[in-house]
Amino acid sequence: MAKDIYTQHPIMEFLSRLFDILILNFFTLLTSIPVITIPAAASSMYYVMLKIIRDEDSGTVKLFFRFFADNFLKSLPYALVIVPVQGILYLALFSMAYGSEGGPVAFGLSLGVLAIVTVLSVWSLLLFAQFDNSFGRTVINAVKLTVFNPLRSLAILAANGLMAVLLLFAPAVFIYFLALWIFMGAGIIGFISVKTAVPVFDELMPEREEIPDPLEEESEDDEEESGE
Residue 195 covered by a domain: yes
Record the pTM. 0.84
- Report residue 213: phi and psi, to 5°: -105, 110
Per the structure, the complete domain to which residue 67 belongs is given by: 2-209
Q: What is the pLDDT of residue 217?
A: 54
> Torsion-angle region of residue 134: left (phi > 0), alpha (psi -120 to 50) or beta?
beta
> What is the model's pLDDT at position 221?
56
The number of domains in the chain is: 1
Looking at the domain assignment, is residue 134 inside a domain? Answer: yes
Residue with the bigger pLDDT between 215 and 15: it is: 15
In a domain, 226, yes or no: no
Region 99-110: mean pLDDT is 81
119 in any annotated domain? yes
CA dihedral 34, 39, 40, 41 (to 10 degrees): 70
